[in-house]
Every structure is written in C-alpha cells, then in structure tokens.
Amino acid sequence: MQMETKYLYIFLLLVNVSVLQSNAAVPQVPALIVFGDSITDPGNNNGLQFSWAKCNFPPYGRDFKDQRATGRFSNGKIPPDFLASQLGIKEYLPAYLDPELSDEDLLTGVSFASGGAGFDDISAKLASAYTLWDQLQMFKEYKIKIEKVAGIERASKIVSDSVYLIFLGNNDIMTTYFSTNIRSNYDIPSYVNYLVQAASSFNKNLYDLGARNIAVLGVPPLGCVPAVRTLRGGITRECVDIYNEATLLFNTELSAEMTRLAPELPGSKIIYMDVYSILLDLIMNSSHYGFDEVTRGCCGTGEIEATLLCNEISPCTCEDASKYLFWDAFHPTEKGYELLITPLVKKYLPIFG
C-alpha cells in the first residue's frame, strides 16, 4: 500500500511538472505582425515576376529547415523567426503571401515585409517590390480573414494584443539616397526628416487599425555592410563614415519621434529598438562571438553578391556560414541575426508584458 501511494505521488508530481511546463510555453502575446524590407521578408516577393529583390533559390536557405530556399534573405532563419520563437508563438513566421499559409498561421501572425521596401515609396518601386502602404493594405485584408476564421471578438483581441514589428529605412538610406539621384533635392537632414515623418504617419495608421504594441527598429551601421565597403570604402574596404553618420542621425530622430508619438495614441506602447550598437559590437568584437569574417559575406566573394548574383554557381561560397557575420553582401547569416535579436528581446519585449 505504501509502495502504491509512493508511485501515485510520483505520478501526480510528474503531471504537475508537465502542466507547469505547458503553461510556461503559452505565448505572452497571441501573434507577431511584421512590416519591413528584406531583413524581415520570409518570401513575400517570390511571386513578383519583375522584382530583383527575391532569393527563393539556392544557396539561400542552405541551413534552413529541409534546406529550402523560402525567400528568406539568409542561409537560414531571419529576425521574425527568432522573435516569434523567443516570444513562444511559433518557430517560423511565414510570409503573408505564402500560398501554403494556413488559418492557424494567420491567427499567430505573419510578415508583410517586402525586400526592397522603405519608408520612402520610391525605394520599393526601384526594386519592383511592395511599398509600405501596400503592406498596410495587406494588413487590412488580414484583419478580414482572421475575423472569418476566429470571429469578430477574438480577432479584435488578436489585433490589439499582438506585437507589431517595423524594420525599415535601410533601402531608403543605402540605395534611394546614396545610390541614386532621385532624392538629390534633399540634403541628409531633410531626407531623414522626410523618412521619420513617413514612419510617424504609418504608426498612426496602424494604430487606427487596432495595433497597440508597436516596436520600431532603428537602422544598423550601413557603412559597414560588405557591399558598401566594396563600392565606397576604398582599396582597404573600410566602413564608410557618411553612411553611418546618416544612419545615426536617422536613428536619433526616429527614436525621438516614437517617444513623442506614444502619448498621442492612448493605450499604445510604442518603443524604439536600437540595433546599430548591437551590430557594431558584433563587427568590432567579432572573435568574441566566434566570427572569422565580418567584412565579407559567405556567398561568392562576399564583396558584392546578393539576390540574383548569389546563386548555386557563385564561386568561393564558404562552407561554414556560422563563421561569417554576413551571408551575402547585404544580409547577415542566421547566426548573425540570432545574436542581433536575442538581446533586443531581453531588453525591450518585457515592456509589452
């Protein structure tokens, strides 16, 4: 009898532990919703016939599940995947335009991001990609879809309780401003102001559609991206100061505007996330993080190749991407992304708790 009681006690203890573990895995937020560019695009551009800003072909996705090139601009996972996983929502955040998207995928979040997009619509048009306002229109469609799946009341709660991630500005500064003459009528401060006001307007529109928990990421040190080093960094391929100075100005103004905007939108939590200092630390202290190379990408020579130029016949592609901070000449590796996102989650996401 005592032996049976002992086994019953052990059984009940194991059941309680299992329940606690199950409860611990319940996400704090119902869904993750993402707007952005190639850094956060899981494949929305795949169906765009004339866009160069897509990568649904090898060697992209080489280290992803089943070695699939899903359209993620990396060798594996990208920031929304790591964020969704660390929030306890799901392992991968799918593209809204994924033809295999399920109802459950809709309820737990998607990414509307499009490679080439920016706060400036011209950026997306240069890449024949979806503009930020196209992405907002997709979100409106998304709301209708989840109402049909979950009902109006639950859908409304999903929209209001979800975390929204916005990561843009890279293409505006690096491509539209510095690589073309389209915005030559602006100096750097005035163009930064134009972008920040566009970001503010977008946040207001998103709020009007029900979003309350909004995280806006700053831009990393674009002057240290491999392609910029190659094209503008001289023979020694140094980081390009003017790019980094423009980036820092944009980040400063964006942060200030998000701080100013939050009180205008009752019930909202709008935070600015600093990625500049984290990525710069990965570059400056590369050996501490296990990187052998931070000035070139893994794909091809790593100096200029990206999207269509990074392909199966690209010579010299590295064997171990975990030794590289960058996968191609613009985008980090899966390891680089994970090291970028993990400290952001720890520092900022408890604010939405």
Helix-helix angle 132-150:152-161, to 10 degrees: 140
* Neighbouring C-beta atoms of residue 24, cutoff 10 Å: 8
Whether residue 73 contacts residue 39, with contact meaning beta carbons closer than 8 Å, is answered with yes
Cα–Cα dist 75/326, whole Å? 10
The beta strands (E) that lie in 236-307 are given as 269-273, 293-297
Count of alpha carbons within 13 angstroms of residue 200, beta-carbon side: 19
Give the rounded distance of the alpha carbon of 242 from its chain centre: 24
Given a contact cutoff of 8 angstroms between Cβ atoms, the answer to whether 227 and 329 are in contact is yes
For the chain, give the number of residues.
353
User: Is residue 121 packed enough to be buried (19+ CB in 10 Å), middle (13-18) or exposed (0-12)?
Assistant: middle
Cβ atoms within 10 Å, residue 18? 10
Name residues whose C-beta falls within 8 Å of residue 340's C-beta, 6 or more positions apart in sequence: 79, 275, 278, 279, 282, 332
Positions marked active-site: 38, 328, 331
- Rounded Cα distance, 193 and 186, in Å: 10
Residue bearing tokens 């009341």: 153
The tokens 């329940």 sit on which residue? 19
Edge-to-edge strand list for the sheet holding 269-273? 32-36, 163-167, 213-217, 269-273
* Closest C-alpha among 316, 164, 297, 298 to residue 237: 297
What per-residue string of b and e applies to 63-95 under the rule 16 or more CB within 10 Å gives b? bbeeeebbbbbbbbbbbbbbbbbebebbebbbb
